[in-house]
Structure 1
Amino acid sequence: MSIQGVQLYIQDDHVMMENGILRVTISKPERIVTGVSYQGIENLLEVRNEESDRGYWDLVWSEEGTAGTTGTSYVIKGAKFRVIVENEEQVEISFTRAWSSSLEGKHVPLSIDKRFVMLRGSSGFYSYAIYEHLKEWPGFNLPQTRIVFKLRKDKFRYMAVADNRQRRMPLPEDRLPRRSRPLAYPEAVLLVHPVEPEFKGEVDDKYQYSCDNKDLYVHGWICSDPPVGWWQITPSNEFRSGGPMKQNLTSHVGPTNLAMFLSAHYVGEDMVLKFKRGEPWKKVFGPVFIYLNTLIDNDDPLWLWEDAKEQMLTEVQSWPYNFPASEDFPKSEQRGCVSGRLQVSDRHVSDDNISTNGAYVGLAPPGDVGSWQTESKGYQFWTRTDADGYFLISDVRNGDYNLYAWVPGFIGDYKNNAIVTITPGIKFFSLFFKLLIVTFPDTIKQISSHHELCNAGCDIDMGNLVYEPPRDGPTLWEIGIPDRTAAEFYVPDPDPMYINKLYVNHPDRFRQYGLWEKYSDLYPNGDLVYTVAVSDYRTDWFFAQVTRKKDEDKYEGTTWQIKFNLENVNQTGTYKLRVALATAYVAELQVRINNPKANPPLFTTGVIGHDNTITRHGIHGLYRLYSIDAKGALLMEGENTIFLTQPMCSSALQGLMYDYIRLEAPPSNNSTKKH
């Protein structure tokens, strides 16, 4: 039986695309998705909402020079409608919004071309957009842009973000004042009189469902009657800001389904995209795929999640798509790839170079070491090394990049100073290598000699790269695991009054609400004291150094102690204290040794951070590494104490999380000093 071709129907106020599987209705020229019909359900979107509040792209913007992460929210509407492709295999339609000087100060100075695509035989539809800022236009800030779909609350009650992060969800009216009680910030409420008693006593907070970019490929909702799944699939992170560790919102009570492209969450103002007058810019966000599925020869609605994951793999393997009609979206044959091998040289760990297994290697716009964490204007391309350190970054868009990396188990960031330039060219071997590394990851180490083949197109072999992590001398002691998160430290049980049932006995126990309040319960009369070789960081190091509640709405800073013994002290040498932070929020870290009242302290970060991770249950935000010199004269034979003070105390939610702490002995005469 033949598959029905794609049809396009243009009416006065709406445009409809259908392919015999589903029908998508979009308002014209506003370009709001007003209806999605599938499996006998006339509209999967919330019919109780106004048409403009169902499926839309939006952004937040502010004028140049404005500080902070807020601004004017704007639902992106169009002024001009065009049919880009119309045949039985594909329909692609465009809604454009231009900008002129008459709109200065009234609308964001961007030209936006928002597109929707439907393919023959496809159980879903795609959307992408091209944002452009011309040189002569005024500057502005862009803190956020995304796609939002609001689904029918009477149909979609079960949400899935990951295999172990899925549940039946409360209703949106459960968050209303008569049914809930506000908590420390507006996003979190305690459900006291929910419509359904099973949710009574739970906390609802959209940030409890955030996810790292590296893990955020598919999420969505399930309707049980009839069995239908709605899934948002993002097959590539190239257009997302902040790299693989950047956290974004996913789905939450509404039922709301999000595709986040740019946001300041878990970073702060450093992530806000800022333009000056005279700065041209263009970027393609997407395409993302809205996938719909139903049960076939199966009576378990959770099978819809398993099927969505399979479809996600299909979409990832199909990236970059060959169907987008915009010339701003390059096809695979117009892209390049970069390969190589990354090893670590740390002579205090091994005399030989160490193979990196699972290291993160990526291309991002040229910048400083670690600048990819806050980069948002360009594109980023990341992969992970195999067991022997070999990597392949495929399908890279044209442009100039630096190659960056970080290695779990080692502190710091790697940056290769050479500019990697990808130029248009026909690649004869990229697809082969892409399939090879996916299918036979251990084989990639055998093909490092492919340099002359890759040069047939714009494919670059970086050869053997060696990362020398910061190191001066041998490790005297260490606390934690250098993995850029605080997840290995002690995360307390939540207050039974403030729980999310999903995270009871869950690996991500840090996602429970109010855990910062447990610090004062555990240390009512004094702060944390950690004794090296006696204490265990998994049980004795609280996951966040937060403030202590003193009186109602009054807080005080905290000072943690690390006690350790030295049998011998090199009085003329310099010891090195490495402190890696996983996040900070309006905090300061002061370091003192053996004198808690030393003024000034041996070291201070100054006030740092707007990550807001403690509030948003993220366990990590921006990674920060500090290397602190400690003269041997500060230390004593026998017991020593390092004092870590966080004095900022205007709220309960200030503080920082540690990733890893290490004390190094002075370098020996025959060792190479590395900063």
Structure 2
Amino acid sequence: MCDIGSSCFVVPRAYSYGIYQHQEDMPAFNLNETRIAFMLRKDKFKYVAVTNERQRRVPLPEDRVPPRGKELAYPEAVLLVDPLEPEFKGEVDDKYQYSCENKDNKVHGFICFEPPVGFWQITPSNEFRTGGPFKQDLTSHVNPTTLAMFVSTHYGGEDLVIKFGEGEKWKKMEKEVGKWPYSFPASEDFPHADQRGSISGRLLAQDWYISEGNIAAKGAYVGLAPPGKDGSFQVEAKGYQFWTNADEEGFFCITNIRPGPYNIYAWIPGFIGDFRCDKDIVITTGSEIDVGDLVYAPPRNGPTLWEIGVPDRSAAEFFVPDPNPMYINKLYINLPNDRFRQYGLWERYADLYPDEDLVYTVGISDYHNDWFYAQVTRKIGENAYQGTTWQIKFNLDRVREGNHTLRIALASATFSILEVRINREEANPPKFSSGLIGSDNTIARHGLHGLYWLFNLEIQSSQLIQGQNTIYLTQARSASAVHGIMYDYIRLEGPPLHDYSPSQIKA
């Protein structure tokens, strides 16, 4: 076994880059995906390594083809029924089981043991990648194939398609490099280290219902991306992005930034919503910009009455079931943090809730065990499905005058419609409908997050009662087994309080 964080083998290096250009005389054009694919010798490279933990021997490409392999719900997922090497019999192979987030996608590849040599795709800079640090993409997979992904809609869908209007002028350079930023490229499109700039500062959070003072944005993801709206970085694909993590005190520094106009974007684990600086930032050659203290005031109208989950843009804290024994990838049996990468977990919802849907009781239920990781459809026939309705039950000792606020953060949505009803399951129209949202396909692609969504609903006190209340969450679209949503975090806030202290609210 090889630790891919260390030097395993000494091999020749090759550097690659691409320059993408849409000229003024070109027609309108959509760019969905672009990548470099390295196809290796199947008789030599039989061991894949994506991370220090996610590495294993892999089956052969012919094992995926009938009659040795049986296609499952979609072509990428294949059940190995008669592989050439018996150790793989009964496993599921799917290239999406080896996906990785941009922030962690630094090195992956294959190992050949005879002779001892490795083939590694190394990417020390993410500036060319689209969608921000949490965007996921393919790495290495059975064939054997190693990918350098430049642009894709994986885990993002239609929102990440790069769309050019007729005559729209655009150019972008994409790179995989061994030392960043390196000095030998002669292209005028590549700024060298002395032509780049840097930015530093500190990010704080301001939530008076938690603390009387500002809170250091510990571990915040802070980045520069082209100017846009709140959260627009996650669907931005034409420009460049530069990201870092803030330290324990919220301080951050981003270096080697290409000259140009940007905005500062951020999100803070533990807080909902997106930060965006109210001023654009212009990076020039050699600039060293200190923006000082930036303060993010996350959405908040009143004290927390109850909450479900953790605001971290992921469904990781919720219940991920054991896989169907018929559909197992052995790599993930002993990797608890990656158990969600097994095929067909969406089908386990109907096994756990065959007749009635999920009911969560605040104060009694535990979201780690009682909140399924994805709200999916239920199969009711050979090729028929129905939407599902989850319930949140909670007690109010009294109903205060004024508007309450229900905040629903989604970690993913795939061709779904979220409807919310308050104390009346049959209410028509519902209190809220998202309309058709999402195309990130995260459920089928073994992920726990795609694009982030935040919905904020006002609930009048007249809609609530003293005693037990119920919120009904319906995923109303039922066209497929893998259409559905993943929740990140749900919070009910009471009406605003005046003349309070945070310590009184906590009590």
Q: Deviations over 1:619-654 (max 9, x none)?
A: 100000000000011111111100001111111111
1:240-255 alignment runs, 5 A limit: 240-255=129-144
1:306-327 per-position Cα deviation (integer Å, ceiling 9, x unaligned): xxxxxxxxx4xx3111111111
For 1:128-139, what aligned pairs fall within 5 Å after superposition? Answer: 128-139=17-28
* Cα deviation digits, residues 398-443 of structure 1 (max 9, x gap): 110010000001000000021100122xx4xxxxxxxxxxxxxxxx
- Within 5 A, what are the aligned runs for 1:95-494? 123-286=12-175, 288-289=176-177, 315=178, 318-424=179-285, 427=286, 458-494=287-323
Partner secondary structure for residue 156 of structure 2: coil
The within-5 A match list for 1:502-581 is 502-506=331-335, 507-570=337-400, 572-581=401-410
**Equivalent-residue separation in structure 2 for 1:583 and 1:599 (angstroms):** 25
Q: Matches of 1:243 and 1:608 in 2, distance apart? A: 20
Whole-Å Cα distance in 2 between the matches of residues 331 and 532 of structure 1?
55
Q: Distance in 1 between matches of 2:499 and 2:314?
A: 34
TM-superposed deviation, 1:193 = 0.4
Corresponding position: 1:496 with 2:385 = no
| DSSP 3-state at the match of 1:461 | strand
C-alpha separation between the residues in 1 aligned to 2:53 and 2:22? 41
Same amino acid, percent of matched pairs: 63
1:597 aligns with 2:408: no
One-letter code of the match for 1:215?
D
* Alpha-carbon distance between aligned partners in 2 of 1:584 and 1:133, rounded to the nearest angstrom: 31
- Per-residue deviation, residues 48-94 of structure 1 (Å, max 9, x unmatched): xxxxxxxxxxxxxxxxxxxxxxxxxxxxxxxxxxxxxxxxxxxxxxx
Counterpart Cα distance in 2 of 1:151 and 1:344: 48
Q: 1:247: how far off?
A: 0.6
Task: From 624, 631, 640, give the equivalent of 2:453.
Answer: 624
Contact 2:221–2:266, Cα closer than 8 Å, also in 1: yes
Match of 1:75? none
Structure 1 position 212, deviation (Å): 0.4
8 Å CA contact 2:11, 2:117 repeated in 1:
no
SS in 2 for 1:518: helix
Find the aligned partners of 2:281 and 2:160 in 1 and give their Cα distance.
Answer: 24
Query: Cα gap change, 1:353/1:134 in structure 2, threshold over 3 Å: closer, same or farther?
Result: same
Q: Deviations over 1:506-535 (max 9, x none)?
A: 211111000011000100110000000100
State the one-letter code of the partner of 1:320. P
Q: Secondary structure at the match of 1:343?
A: strand
The 8 Å contact of residues 101 and 135 in structure 2, kept in 1 or not, is answered as: yes
In 1, are the aligned partners of 2:220 and 2:246 still within 8 Å (CA)?
yes
Q: Secondary structure at the match of 1:605?
A: strand
After superposition, the C-alpha distances for 1:142-178 in whole angstroms (9 at most, x for unaligned) are 0000010000001000000011111100000101111
Q: CA offsets per residue over residues 292-339 of structure 1, 9 Å max, x none?
A: xxxxxxxxxxxxxxxxxxxxxxx4xx3111111111110111001010
Q: 1:139 Cα shift?
A: 1.5
Cα deviation, residue 671, structure 1: 7.4
2:414 is matched with which residue: 563, 575, 585? 585
Cα RMSD (Å): 1.3
Q: SS state of the match for residue 643, structure 1?
A: strand
Structure 1 gaps of 5+ residues are 1-38, 40-120, 290-314, 428-457
Q: SS of the residue aligned with 2:103?
A: helix
Cα distance in 1 for residues equivalent to 2:169 and 2:115? 49
The one of 482, 488, 492 equivalent to 1:659 is 488
Whichever residue aligns with residue 526 of structure 1, its letter is: E
Aligned length: 492
Is the CA contact 2:403–2:461 (under 8 Å) kept in the aligned structure 1? yes
- Name the CA distance, whole Å, in 2 between partners of 1:671 and 1:553: 56
* Distance apart, 1:136 and its partner CA: 2.1
Give TM-score scaled by structure 2 length: 0.96
Deviations 1:212-253 (A, max 9, x none): 000000000000101101100011000011110111000110
Letter in 2 for 1:648: R
Summarize deviations over 1:332-362 as a string: whole Å, max 9, x none: 1100101000000001111110011110000
Whole-angstrom distance in 1 between the partners of 2:394 and 2:87: 49
Q: CA deviation at 1:563?
A: 0.5
Select which of 456, 464, 476 maps to 1:635: 464
Letter of the structure 1 residue corresponding to residue 224 of structure 2:
L
The amino acid across from 1:600 in the alignment is P
Q: Deviations over 1:175-204 (max 9, x none)?
A: 111101110000001000000000000000
Aligned to 2:372, what secondary structure does the other structure show? coil
TM value normalised by structure 1: 0.72
Structure 2 spans left out of the alignment, 5+ residues: 1-8, 502-507
Larger deviation, residues 122-131 vs 244-253: 122-131
Following the alignment from structure 1 to structure 2, what is the Cα–Cα distance between the partners of residues 271 and 129? 19
